[in-house]
Chain A
Amino acid sequence: MASSPPSGSPSSKEKKYDRQLRLWGANGQNRLERAHIALFGATATGCEVLKNLILPSIGRFTVIDDKLVEQADLGVNFFLDQDSLGKPRAERAAALLGELNPDVAGGFRIDNLESILSNTPGLLDPRTTEFTHLLLMSPIPTPLLLQLPAEIPIFFVHSLGFITSLRIYAPTHTIIEIHPDSLVDLRLFNPWPELSEFALEKTSTLDVPESEGGMGDHEHGHIPYVLLLLKYLEDWKQSHQGHLPGSYSEKTLFKSMIMDRMRTGVPGGIEENYVEAVNAVMGDLRTAELSSGTKEVLNDPECQSITSQTDEFWIIARAVKDFAGSNNALLPLSGAMPDMKAESRGYVALQNLYRAKAYSDAAAVERIVRDYMNRVQHPKRNQIDRDAIQLFCRHSNFLRRLNYRSIADEFSNSNEQHKGVVLGALGDWDVESSLIHHYIALRAYQEFYTGHGRAPGDTSHESCEEDYQEIRRIICEYLKGIGYPESLPERCEKVAKEIVRAGGGELHVTASLAGGIVAQEVIKIITRQYVPINNTVIFDGIGSRTQTFEL
């Protein structure tokens, strides 16, 4: 699981984080502990997100907020107590959150995004900033969002009544460990010579009856199914002009061919290894193909011209691409093998064969990496990380690259892709159950706040209806802008009413739930493991549902 295991006996720290190390390993934990998170807005939701990041031990956090604690905060925010009343929210929240985990360094700043951007821009300048990730709690006027640097991942969160949304922006995000269900790649259609020879040798007397000097029943019932398949594929090829069973009907025939060779005069009447072989036919017999995620990575422009500035990820990716180019388009072997019916010795021998091949493929990739790095005089050419290359090779068919749309593009009103997503969702046959209306209403909320400096519904009674009409107007304008031909959908109106009714207020339950959803995505981005949402997730607490959109 962990690619670079911690050395020595488990410390109390490893014990404390044992349950999560089993999810993201030492690699993920190290990345987490190097993160410095800035929270803009010590709201209930913001504090809940931070709680869920401090518990698994991020490195540092800084709470930035310029308000004083009010009575209203106490009812919703677990991290502001009675003693906090009248004191700076940033200071009190940082103190109470800090108590959650002594391993995490916490700090605060009585300030806001607007004044930082104009008075102390160095704090958010990618060349000088200490922050690795920014958590931004609504409300924040749109122009400020657009001034944020493109180099730092941001998480912008709305939490209103029962509605929550999270918008992620990150610079190009690459993932090696998406944690697929299985890394197994048996290469049954493309065996390398040593594997073919091994299979041939182990199965030479497979179909000869014991009475005629063939294999004994015990051995016959313990030939690993991988070897059975390799052997019978050879037989198949001989009787099919060298073709492999590719189609469904061919595979069905191939299955019955294997069943015919099973010995039935054994105790129980069947051989488990033959059953395993038959069960693997549909799933494991396939031509090795590049996954779409890996294709995207290997065809990324970053791979094409390697310079001394190129990130190691892209150099390894390029090396893998070159490796595949000279290896019949086959990626480095993962080396993973499933459990199977076999004698322990036979299993280990087969496993060693797969592992040795994986090792030598990774070594070949490492040589190419070394070549590139030396050629461009890469600053890290003398510290090539063998573990990282092996990890990359093992996962080479599961790579992922996410290019997040900028927030500026989302708000430009002229971005065709954005329009396409929204119009597509509005035109969907099941639009009535879509959460796209929540997005549209929240977007109007954002514009309202930007224009008025307050949340809709957050004033005296008289203006509520006015606020609602204003939100409605904004929505209509937006829909017109993106070319929506019809009148305002009723569901948009409903959600807009709900948002006005919330008056910018949070509910603790929603804040807590949003804290879980947002922190989970932050962890995926920090650890560079698992696939994070791209780029917006909406939660509706009334239906207890979520939906994601690439907006």
Chain B
Amino acid sequence: MVGAGGIGCELLKNLVLTGFGEIHIVDMDTIDLSNLNRQFLFGMQHIKKSKAMVAKETAGKFNPNVKLEAHHANIKDPEFNVKWFGGFNVVFNALDNLEARRHVNKMCLSADVPLIESGTTGFDGQVQVIKRGKTECYDCTHKATPKSFPVCTIRSTPSQPIHCIVWAKSYLLVEIFGTSEESSPDLDPTEDSENSREIANLKREAEELKNIREKMDSPDFAATVFNKVFRDDINRLRSMDEMWKSRKPPEALDHQMVSDEAKGIDAKVSENDQKIWSLVENYIMFEDSLRRLAERVLDMKRDQVGDEAAPIITFDKDDEDTLDFVAASANLRSLVFGINVKSKFDIKQMAGNIIPAIATTNAITAGLCVLQAFKVLRDDFTSARTIFLSRLADRAFCTEKPSPPNPTCGVCSVARTAIEADIERATLGDLLDNVLRDGLRYGGEITVMTSQLLYDCDFDDNIDRTLKGLGFSEETFVTVVDDEDDPRINLEVLVTNTQLPEDSTPITIPAYFEIPKKSSAKLETPEPSSLNGNSANGSATKRSIEEVIGSDELDQSNGPDTKKLRRDIVVEDRVPASAKKLGKMPATEMDDIVVIDDDGTITID
């Protein structure tokens, strides 16, 4: 079970009470106050503790027969390798971010372990069964990636409130209180600037801000920061006439003027988080939160021992000081650029990527995950379902058959092989010649890559470098793209680092196997029927009820599948043998294909 948050708590409770034998829980997060409205395995006394550990502790009490193991760790850590994933019968994704979901999807495909993927937003939720070769994978349909913004939009030409919020959170706060080396996912540095002069200016501005940071203990620190970012930098920007030909130029603020106006007004006036603050209120909040943050850093500096890393503060939507600072700074910048000002409540949601969440949706979603797991554990992928929850009153959710793998998916529709290599000795040339050309009979025209390009026919600089030198670690995925006419589908080679005897080749060679051609792969994969629909086309809630109902298994009950259907219904009874009174009545009286074993479990004849 990856993720011990909202869905995870429900899931763990269900799995423990259903009597699963061994459950591993992986989560890197700690418990926060705002989790407690739904994550019921945690209480006030657990705040700041590991979710995985506390979940194990709380849920474990309810069934001592279940073996629980908690990992307070990132699922992307190398210890969770393909072999580790391969040790499970089923993996549940109860995650809150795309990146980790995609990672687990890839690992489960590679280990050929079924994955039950789930997620919720407010009243909406989704459950999807993923099995290599049988269903579509998480990456078969396009997923909207979190938005990132070009650096210049954020730093020079904001036009929406979100631009100013990202500026406050990922630039200003980081430059003053954080470590600016870490690049922010909100900022997209690849986007070209309108001119390189501007890039140079922005670099210099950031340097100047770093120098101001040294004066954190001076009484006019706030005034210095304010004048720097809301007056001098703005005046400098404004002077670049060519930028403002089709845009309204920004209007600088002056500290003296604003602070005079703010005299005698208490910082309390700005505490209402749903009100739109005025210029003066924003200023008061800016100054007050900057002072609070500076005091925290100075305190930490005093407690610093030896050569410990310099203390930093990073944005946390639930850290009131950082949130106040980001809200006030973002709004001041909006005022400078004539952009709508937002309330602190809204800024919190925008800056923190807050997703509304409640217990009810998690309970429904987790329950559906377990029902799907019953089918997966019987290897019955035809009756597994993809389910969409919605708040619509005409039905609580929509159910469809899982779509087949998308033949053009670069993640699941690939051929796979695994090899071992001594990455300190093996070179890229060994991989190309021994594994790909000799072993798998590739021609000359191929492209080979990990997360970076290693080789193609115009780029052979790396041939003599060792795999380690090319960034290989204990487990590395290599993608091989066939560039010949009538090419084979992509190949994914899992390279595991192993000590191989000094006198042997530093890389193992897989037995030759037929890799299908791209052209034939497309023909062989059945097209999704119109009844199955395709979730890529958007939300299932828009589908007509006929479509949804028509897609269900029960419409086959007149056909030759009747026996199978009856089987399905009965087999479901097997897992929850703990059900109260369930065993009292031998199902054999009703249905001749079921027998009850001595130990009470129901098996299928």
Query: A504–B578 contact, CB under 8 A?
Result: no
Within 8 Å of chain A (Cβ to Cβ): is B408? no
Given A15-B34, A55-B37, A498-B569, CB of A539 within 8 Å of CB of B580: no
In the bound complex, residues from chain B placing their C-beta under 8 Å from that of A15 are 33-34, 318
A267, A461, A542: the one contacting B568 at CB < 8 Å is A542
Chain A 453-474, CB-CB to B under 8 Å as 1, else 0, gives 0000110010011001000000
Distance in Å from the Cβ of B566 to the closest Cβ of chain A?
A: 8
Of B10-18, B147-155, B446-454, B496-504, the one with at least 4 CB within 8 A of chain A: B10-18
Chain A residues whose CB sits within 8 angstroms of the CB of B550 once the complex forms: 430, 433
A509 touches B14 (CB 8 A): yes
Q: Which of B272, B366, B367 contacts A7 (CB 8 A)?
A: B272
Do the beta carbons of A508 and B36 come within 8 Å of each other?
A: no
The reply to whether the CB of B589 lies closer than 8 angstroms to some CB of chain A is yes
**Which residue in chain B gives the minimum CB-CB distance to A547?**
B395
Q: Is A17 an interface residue (CB 8 A)?
A: yes
- Is residue A107 contacting chain B, with contact meaning CB distance below 8 A? no
Convert A105-144 into 0s and 1s, putting 1 for each residue whose CB lies closer than 8 angstroms to a CB of B. Answer: 0000000000000000000000000000000000000000
**Interface assignment of A78: CB less than 8 Å from any CB of chain B:** yes
Q: Which of A56, A510, A543 contacts B359 (CB 8 A)?
A: A56
Most chain B Cβ neighbours within 10 Å, of A162, A464, A509, A537 = A509
Would you give the shortest CB distance from B134 to chain A, in whole angstroms?
17
Taking a contact as CB atoms under 8 Å apart, the answer to whether B387 and A55 are in contact is no
Contact B43 A99 (CB under 8 A): yes
In the complex where A56-B359, A503-B581 touch, is A548 in contact with B394 (Cβ < 8 A)? yes
Q: Do B354 and A509 touch across chains, with their CB atoms under 8 A apart?
A: no
Encode contact with A along B570-594: 1 for CB under 8 Å, 0 otherwise: 0011001011111011110111000
Give the chain A neighbours of B409 by CB distance below 8 A.
none
Segment from B299-307, B425-433, B553-561 that makes contact with A: B553-561
B61 near A: Cβ within 8 Å?
yes
Q: CB distance A20 to B363 under 8 Å?
A: no
- Pick the residue among A23, A267, A504, A506 that contacts B123 (CB under 8 A): A23
- Give chain B nearest CB distance to A546 CB in angstroms: 4
Encoded as 1 (CB less than 8 Å from any A CB) or 0, chain B from 356 to 378 comes to: 11111111111110111000000
Residue contact B578 to A76, C-beta cutoff 8 Å: yes
Residues of chain A lying within 8 A (CB to CB) of residue B98: none
Q: How large is the interface on B (under 10, 10 to 19, 20 to 34, 35 or more residues)?
A: 35 or more
Q: Is B512 an interface residue (CB 8 A)?
A: no
Residues in A322-376 with C-beta less than 8 Å from chain B: 343-345, 347-348
Which among A147-155, A282-290, A303-311, A511-519 touches the partner chain? A511-519
Q: Is B580 a contact of A75 with CB atoms below 8 Å?
A: yes
Q: Chain A contacts of B589 at CB under 8 A? A: 461, 464-465
CA distance A16 to B32 in the complex (A): 9
- Whether B546 sits at the interface, judged by CB under 8 Å, is yes
List, in ascending order, chain A residues with CB within 8 A of B122's CB: 22-23
Q: Of B85-93, B223-231, B337-345, which stretch is located at the interface?
A: B337-345
Contact across chains for B580 and A76 when beta carbons are under 8 A apart: yes
B33 with A12: CB separation less than 8 A: yes
Q: CB distance B395 to A432 under 8 Å?
A: no
Give bound CA distance, A81 to B394, whole Å: 37
Q: Is the pair B590, A519 in contact by a Cβ cutoff of 8 Å?
A: no
- Quick check: A78 and B391 within 8 Å, CB to CB? no
Residues of B within 8 A of A23 (CB): 122-123, 356, 358
Q: Could you say which of B18, B62, B391, B554 has the most chain A C-beta atoms within 10 Å of its C-beta?
A: B554
Q: Is the CB of B580 within 8 A of A505?
A: yes
Whether A430 lies near B555 (C-beta < 8 A) is yes
* Chain B positions within 8 Å of A433 at CB level: 549-550, 552, 554-555
Closest CB in chain A relative to B490 CB, distance in Å: 34
Q: Which A492-549 residues sit within 8 Å CB-CB of chain B? A: 494, 497-498, 500-510, 512-513, 515-517, 519-520, 523, 530-534, 537, 539, 541-548
Whether the Cβ atoms of B358 and A20 lie closer than 8 Å is yes
Would A504 and B581 count as touching, CB distance under 8 A? yes
Using an 8 Å CB-CB cutoff, how does the interface string of B325-340 with A read, 1 for contact, 0 for none?
0000000000000111
Residue B179 is within 8 A (CB to CB) of chain A in the complex: no
Residues on A with C-beta less than 8 A from B354 are: 18-19, 22
> In the complex, which residue of chain A has the Cβ closest to the Cβ of B397?
A546
Asked if A100 CB lies within 8 Å of chain B CBs, one says: yes
Which residues of A have CB within 8 Å of B273?
5-6, 9-10
Q: How many residues of A contact B (CB 8 A)?
A: 90
Chain A residues 3 to 34 lying within 8 A of chain B, measured CB to CB, are 5-10, 12, 15-20, 22-23
Knowing A433-B550, A508-B578, A519-B360 are in contact, say whether A530-B396 is a contact too (CB < 8 A): no
B271 within 8 A of partner (CB): yes
Given contacts A78-B62, A345-B338, contact A505 B356 (CB under 8 A): no
Contact B10 A512 (CB under 8 A): yes
Question: What 0/1 pattern do residues 267 to 299 of B give for CB contact below 8 A with A?
Answer: 000011111000000000000000000000000
Contact assessment for A55 and B396 in the assembled complex, using a CB-CB cutoff below 8 Å: no
Which of A10, A179, A505, A508 lies at the interface centre, i.e. has the most chain B CB atoms within 10 A of its CB? A508
Residues 42 to 70 of chain B near chain A (Cβ within 8 Å): 43-44, 61-62
> Which residue from chain A places its CB closest to the CB of B556 in the assembled complex?
A432
A218 at the interface (CB under 8 A from B): yes
**CB-defined contacts of A56 to chain B, threshold 8 Å:** 37-38, 358-359
CB <8 Å contact, B585 and A102: no
Tell me how far the C-beta of A458 lies from the nearest C-beta in chain B, rounded to whole angstroms: 6
Q: Which of A19, A75, A464 contacts B585 (CB 8 A)?
A: A464
Chain A residues positioned under 8 Å from B590 (CB to CB): 464, 468, 497, 500-501
Residues of A within 8 A of B14 (CB): 508-509, 512
Chain A residues, Cβ within 8 Å of B340: 344, 347-348
Known contacts: A9-B273, A512-B10, A542-B572. The answer to whether A520 contacts B364 by CB under 8 A is: yes
Any chain A CB within 8 A of the CB of B381? no
Q: Which residue of A lies closest to B43 (CB)?
A: A99
Answer whether A20 and B393 are a contact pair too, CB < 8 Å, given A75-B579, A461-B585.
no
Q: Is B385 an interface residue, CB under 8 A from the partner?
A: yes
Q: Does A312 contact B (CB under 8 A)?
A: no
Assembled-state Cα–Cα distance A534/B204 (Å): 64
Enumerate chain B residues within 8 angstroms of A5, measured Cβ to Cβ: 272-275, 345
Separation in Å of the A150 CB from the closest CB of chain B? 22
Distance to closest chain A CB from B350 (angstroms): 12
Q: Is the C-beta of A294 less than 8 angstroms from some C-beta in chain B?
A: no
* Nearest CB in chain A: distance from B383 CB, A: 8
The residue from A10, A508, A542 contacting B18, defined by CB atoms under 8 A apart: A508
Any A CB within 8 A of the CB of B211: no
A1 and B545 CA atoms in complex are apart in Å by: 30
Q: List 10 A-B contacts (CB under 8 A).
A: A48-B363, A344-B339, A501-B590, A505-B581, A505-B584, A512-B363, A512-B366, A516-B363, A516-B365, A543-B552
Binding site for A on B (CB under 8 A): 10, 13-14, 17-18, 33-34, 36-38, 40, 43-44, 61-62, 122-123, 246, 248, 271-275, 318, 320, 338-340, 345, 348-349, 354-368, 370-372, 385, 387, 391-397, 399, 546, 549-550, 552-555, 557-558, 568-569, 572-573, 576, 578-582, 584-587, 589-591
Given contacts A48-B363, A502-B582, A513-B363, 8 further A-B contacts (CB under 8 A): A51-B359, A52-B363, A76-B17, A81-B61, A162-B371, A430-B555, A505-B580, A516-B363
Measured CB to CB, the residues of A under 8 A from B are 2, 5-10, 12, 15-20, 22-23, 48, 51-52, 55-57, 72-73, 75-76, 78, 81, 99-102, 161-162, 179, 218, 267, 343-345, 347-348, 430, 432-434, 457-458, 461, 464-465, 468, 491, 494, 497-498, 500-510, 512-513, 515-517, 519-520, 523, 530-534, 537, 539, 541-548
The 4 closest A-B pairs by CB, nearest first: A513-B367, A516-B363, A5-B274, A516-B364
